A and B are shown apart, each in its own frame.
Chain A
């Protein structure tokens, strides 16, 4: 149980375009979802926390107008990278937390590799 999927697994887009990444909890309802970014040879960095039905909370230094997060249902959160640039190329990972579980208990998706050309 507690499976989180991401789609797509890889995406290549041109500079200036927007790309949407989906994160789904397949067998549980996720009241909270998290988005992380991982640059090559670096650690995962939390970008934002989203709660179903409310606005996402962004970490310091993350542009909320560039990285749009929508958590419209208890099983789906989306991250849209708007006007992507090559420096946005990274590995994006989502995680989800089930209701009633400890705050730190997160289930991770397999990640999405974004390449901006």
Chain B
């Protein structure tokens, strides 16, 4: 079985300050981990993915995430928030016996203040 927990339902930052969205996972297998972003009225967009290569993964729009097996974490960070980053973010785990099945976290709504 696999699961993912996003530790914050809402995160609020000021423009230009760092972003940290936290995610912990549970998996019986070596997981593949992803972060997706969902803007209003738009489809989910893949930000970045970890698939057992480098533990620090760089994604689009300046986001990156670090896979820490000892902490079972895959937190998403960005050095400087932009107004356009305001959206809902989902941490996702895949793998195991249900090959290709994606298990989503509860989502974190990021608000960026001017």
Contact = CB atoms under 8 A, between A and B. Distances in A.
Interface of A: 4, 9, 32, 34, 36, 41-46, 49, 93, 95, 97, 102-104, 106-111
Contacts of B41: 9, 110
Contacts of A95: 44
A109 B44 CA distance: 7
Interface stretch (B19-27, B54-62, B76-84, B95-103): B95-103
Interface of B: 9, 32, 34, 36, 41-45, 49, 51, 90, 94-95, 99-107
Contact of B43 (A41, A49, A97, A111): A111
Nearest to B99: A103
Task: From A4, A43, A46, A110, name the one whose CB has the most chain B CB atoms within 10 angstroms.
Answer: A43
Nearest to A109: B43
Contacts of A46: 101-103
B102 A107 contact: no
Contacts of B44: 93, 95, 108
